[in-house]
């Protein structure tokens, strides 16, 4: 055997060893929900006008996650997947890379300085609460422990405040934005949902004044193609069945009219966050053997393009939002999270969550077909990216 051949063989062996060692390190470092913080992220900030909704997920175990689950004591048990028994942490380590630019690095101190003396209010359903909890944890890393406080009030409010900056970050439960029979923040498990599409002022007066307003409404519309609507001249017992899209447009019009009359566009930055998808049908990504949709999923849906993947999301509702905003003349930025989130079948709380305030039992966790929550998201996780986009709009010059 020649020396040249032996040299090539040795080099090949070393290369193979390094590749295997790297793979094993990746698996070992991500199997358990114990992760470390990252060195500074030197990615180029985005330019104005970037379409953040199009891009791809990039595995990044250097700059992700942006905070530790165990070090943010403000998270609810619904989203603390590692604490609830999830063993892998790969879902925490994906960074969203827009196609033609990059998101600016989230810096809690910069955002807190920008928000000093201000009130930030998230209004919407449990996905908006998911995003609010994410923002609380992101800001939590930039404040000293003695300055951080959380209040949960009797009204549909939860308030996180940082005294050093005199800033409050609040959540208000309003799944339909308008009045409904589902407005109790704790007891809203109602099979027959009813809305008052013309009635918003009673609750909305609590939303102002605010310096940043963030809204959503979507998932509560998806139970049925129609919804019960209170007749304009009747009470809760006088209802009619209305097509979902018709009722939705009426609600968004009511919301937009209220925004136009009550929100000072020069003093308030307003956002509408798009549609968070549900991964309850594994057939959408060719999953075999059932398993409750997102149950057992540990990787995003691979895609050859930066576009959306079909997940049954009713995109027409977001088009209604855009149309009404444009027609009403209000200044609201739509944060389109749908396509990016549709790839993340791995990021849901699945069976690592609570129901009716109780952690799922081992038997329930084993039955993913019956108990997997493929709607809400683990934290750290996907909603952190939604807030990175929000951050880019708030801190830009």
Catalytic residue among 126, 158, 161, 168: 126
Sign of CA dihedral 60, 61, 67, 73: positive
Q: Which of 158, 376, 384, 392 is catalytic?
A: 376
43: helix, strand or coil: coil
Cis bond leading into 380, ω under 30°?
Answer: yes
Tell me what percent of the chain is helix, strand and coil, each rounded to the nearest 5: 35, 20, 45
SS3 172: strand
Residue 330, SS3? Answer: coil
Catalytic residue, from 61, 179, 373, 384: name it.
373
Q: What are phi and psi of 9, to 5 degrees?
A: -65, -40
Of 169, 248, 179, give the one whose Cα is nearest residue 214. 169
Residues whose CB is less than 8 angstroms from the CB of residue 134 and which lie 6 or more positions away in sequence, other chains included: 379, 380, 381, 383, 384, 386, 387
Q: Encode 188-214: b = buried (16+ Cβ within 10 Å), e = exposed.
A: beeeebbbbbbebeebbeebeebbbbb
With beta carbons less than 8 A apart as the criterion, state whether 188 and 124 touch: no
String of DSSP letters for 255-301: HHHHHHHH--TTT-EEEEE-PPP----GGGGT--S---TTTT--SPP
- Say if residues 38 and 64 touch (Cβ distance below 8 Å): yes
Question: Is 373 one of the annotated active-site residues of the chain?
Answer: yes
Q: Is 126 in the active site?
A: yes
SS (H, E, C) 4-29: HHHHHHHHHHHHHHHHHHHHHHHHHH
Residues forming the active site:
126, 373, 376
């Amino acid at each position: 055997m020649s020396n040249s051949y032996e040299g090539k063989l040795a080099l090949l062996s070393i290369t193979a060893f390094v590749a295997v060692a790297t793979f094993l390190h990746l698996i070992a470092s991500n199997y358990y929900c114990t992760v470390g913080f990252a060195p500074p992220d030197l990615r180029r900030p985005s330019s104005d006008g970037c379409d953040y909704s199009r891009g791809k997920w990039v595995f990044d175990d250097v700059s992700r996650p942006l905070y530790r689950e165990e070090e943010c004591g403000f998270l609810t048990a619904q989203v603390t997947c590692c604490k609830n028994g999830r063993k892998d942490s790969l879902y925490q380590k994906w960074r969203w890379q827009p196609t033609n630019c990059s998101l600016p690095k989230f810096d809690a101190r910069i955002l807190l300085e920008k928000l000093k003396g201000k009130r930030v209010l998230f209004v919407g359903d449990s996905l908006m609460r998911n995003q609010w909890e994410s923002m609380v944890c992101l800001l939590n890393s930039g404040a000293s422990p003695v300055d951080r406080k959380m209040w949960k009030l009797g009204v549909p409010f939860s308030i996180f405040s940082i005294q050093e900056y005199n800033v409050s970050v609040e959540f208000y439960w309003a799944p339909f934005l308008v009045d409904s029979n589902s407005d109790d923040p704790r007891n809203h498990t109602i099979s027959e949902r009813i809305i008052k599409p013309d009635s918003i002022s009673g609750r909305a007066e609590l939303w102002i004044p605010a310096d940043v307003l963030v809204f959503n409404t979507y998932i509560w519309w998806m139970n049925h193609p129609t919804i019960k609507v209170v007749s304009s001249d009747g009470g809760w017992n006088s209802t009619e069945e209305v097509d979902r899209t018709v009722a939705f447009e009426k609600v968004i019009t009511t919301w937009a009219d209220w925004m136009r009359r009550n929100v000072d566009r020069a003093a308030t930055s307003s956002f509408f966050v798009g549609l968070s998808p549900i991964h309850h049908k594994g057939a959408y990504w060719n999953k075999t053997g059932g398993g409750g949709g997102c149950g057992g999923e540990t990787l995003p849906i691979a895609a050859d393009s930066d576009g959306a993947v079909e997940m049954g999301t009713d995109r027409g509702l977001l088009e209604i939002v855009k149309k009404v905003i444009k027609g009403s003349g209000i200044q609201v930025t739509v944060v389109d999270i749908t396509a990016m989130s549709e790839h993340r079948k791995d990021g849901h709380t699945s069976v690592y969550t609570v129901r009716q305030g109780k952690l799922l039992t081992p038997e329930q966790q084993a039955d993913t077909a019956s108990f997997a929550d493929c709607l809400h998201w683990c934290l750290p996780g996907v909603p952190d990216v939604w807030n990175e986009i929000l951050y880019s709009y708030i801190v830009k010059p």
